[in-house]
């Protein structure tokens, strides 16, 4: 028994020194297996109990069990110390304020918003007010007050989203003309940007939700020359000094005369060709890009808002903002403006 007690004492000392020097979990596990495993040193000592005189065996068993309990407690302490050391290392790293932060990437103003801002800026510098209107409008403002009665075929040009009770998601920003003139006596000079909705199939030139920017000037003595001059200067401001504007006869029930407004294709400079014999894909070889509709406000619209058409006259226009964007940024597909692709938007910053 004295020999066993001595062996146990030496074993316990070696174990304590080894446990204190452990630096990792694997090492700790190896230590446990070496001493307390199935073939470990303690197990081998336990096997010697059978060689002792019977009256000493009980005491020897208890002595070994006590040593095992101490060893297990030491193993538990060492594991706890390892865990706290790992946590401390982790915490020290996570509060390293000198560690370079990941870049979060700066956003930018969306190109559609930028075109609206530039256009509004041009008009406010010339004394126009910026006006907004509702996106869901009664039929009256969308059509009737704009000289498009119920049975008029022009309603078909505005393939619309109908809500309950004769309310329409506005297919154009022209209702804002009527609301403004009903609210303010002449003269009025406004520019009105906003979202529009049409039941158009989406393709490279069409969206079902897009933006228009409307302009309206009504005063005494306003004529078509004012409209041409204003839109020509607007295009030069947006696209550059080389730009010209073309008016093609057209038809809108709320303007007379009416025109489609085109501007020089910025890609080919109006030649229709990008290289010898290579047709410009942007304008289809015509040298012009369509921006929208315009014309002189129809006398019926002036009468509807109680303006005297014999005294007052005015012009109006409505341009597609994304279509302006196609030409301005030389983009091939209008859907790029709504896909939220950060790479595309970063290019237009």
Single out the residue of 133, 193, 292, 314 in contact with ligand FA5 (rule: CB under 6 A).
292
Which of positions 35-54 make contact with ligand FA5 (CB under 6 A)? none
For position 175 contacting ligand FA5 by CB under 6 A, the verdict is no
Buried b (16+ CB within 10 A) or exposed e, 41-66: ebeebbeebeebeeeeeeebeebbee
Q: Does 316 bind ligand FA5 (CB under 6 A)?
A: yes
Residue 123 touches ligand FA5, criterion: CB under 6 A: no
Stretch that binds ligand FA5, among 72-80, 93-101, 218-226, 287-295 (CB under 6 A): 287-295
Q: Interface with ligand FA5 includes 253 (CB under 6 A)?
A: no
Tokens (6 digits) for 174: 């022209």
How many residues in the shown chain lie near ligand FA5 by CB under 6 A? 23
- For residue 202, the minimal CB distance to ligand FA5 (Å) is 8
Give least dist CB 92 to ligand FA5, A. Answer: 57
Question: What is the 8-class DSSP label of residue 255?
Answer: E
Count the Cβ atoms, other than its own, within 10 Å of residue 134: 14
Q: Are 297 and 270 in contact (CB under 8 A)?
A: no
Show the tokens assigned to 269. 């400079």
In whole angstroms, the minimum distance from the beta carbon of 274 to ligand FA5 comes to 23
Whether 298 contacts 172, CB under 8 Å: no
Nearest to 324 by CA among 97, 168, 161, 113: 113
Of the residues 4, 181, 207, 265, which one makes contact with ligand FA5 according to CB under 6 A:
207
Measured in whole angstroms, the distance separating CA 262 from the mean position of its chain's CA atoms is: 31
**Residue from the set 35, 128, 141, 210 that interacts with ligand FA5 by CB under 6 A:** 210
Q: Is 174 in the site for ligand FA5 (CB under 6 A)?
A: yes
Phi, psi dihedral angles at 327 (to 5 degrees): -75, -45
Candidate ranges 18-26, 126-134, 205-213, 265-273; the one touching ligand FA5 (CB under 6 A): 205-213
User: Locate tokens 């990008």: which residue?
Assistant: 274
Q: Is 293 in the site for ligand FA5 (CB under 6 A)?
A: yes
Distance from C-alpha of 140 to C-alpha of 151, rounded to nearest angstrom: 13
* Mask for 79-118, x = binds ligand FA5 (CB under 6 A): ----------------------------------------
DSSP 3-state assignment of 314?
strand
Q: Which residue has the tokens 């009664």?
A: 138
Q: How far is the CB of 157 from ligand FA5 (least distance, A)?
A: 6
Spatial separation of the C-alpha atoms in residues 218 and 181, rounded to whole Å: 9
Binding stretches for ligand FA5 (CB under 6 A): 157, 172, 174, 198, 200, 206-207, 210, 212, 214, 252, 255, 290, 292-295, 316-318, 320, 322-323
């Amino acid at each position: 028994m004295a020999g066993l007690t001595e062996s146990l004492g030496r074993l316990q000392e070696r174990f304590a020194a080894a446990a204190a020097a452990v630096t990792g979990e694997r090492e700790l596990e190896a230590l446990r297996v070496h001493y307390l495993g199935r073939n470990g040193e303690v197990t081998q000592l336990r096997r010697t109990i059978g060689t002792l005189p019977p009256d000493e065996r009980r005491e020897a068993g208890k002595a070994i069990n006590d040593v095992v309990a101490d060893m297990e407690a030491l193993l538990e302490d060492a594991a706890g110390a390892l865990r706290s050391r790992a946590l401390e290392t982790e915490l020290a790293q996570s509060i390293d304020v000198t560690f370079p932060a990941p870049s979060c990437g700066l956003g930018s103003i969306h190109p559609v918003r930028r075109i609206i801002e530039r256009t509004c800026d041009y008009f406010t510098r010339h004394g126009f007010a910026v006006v907004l209107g509702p996106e869901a409008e009664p039929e009256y403002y969308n059509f009737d007050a704009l000289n498009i009665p119920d049975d008029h075929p022009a309603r078909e040009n505005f393939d619309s989203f109908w809500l309950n009770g004769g309310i329409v998601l506005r297919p154009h920003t022209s209702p804002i003309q009527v609301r403004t003139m009903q609210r303010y006596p002449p003269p009025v000079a406004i520019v009105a940007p906003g979202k529009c909705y049409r039941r158009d199939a989406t393709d490279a030139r069409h969206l079902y939700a897009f933006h228009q920017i409307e302009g309206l000037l009504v005063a005494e003595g306003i004529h078509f020359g004012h409209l041409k001059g204003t839109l020509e200067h607007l295009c030069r401001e947006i696209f550059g000094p080389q730009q010209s504007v073309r008016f093609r006869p057209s038809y809108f029930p709320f303007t007379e005369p009416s025109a489609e407004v085109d501007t020089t294709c910025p890609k080919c400079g109006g030649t229709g060709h990008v290289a010898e014999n290579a047709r410009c894909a942007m304008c289809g070889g015509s040298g012009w890009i369509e921006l929208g509709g315009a014309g002189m406000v129809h006398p019926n619209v002036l009468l509807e808002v109680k303006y005297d058409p014999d005294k007052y006259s005015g012009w109006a226009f409505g341009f597609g903002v994304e279509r302006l964007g196609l030409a301005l940024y030389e983009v091939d597909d209008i859907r790029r403006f709504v896909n939220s692709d950060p790479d595309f938007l970063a290019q237009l910053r």
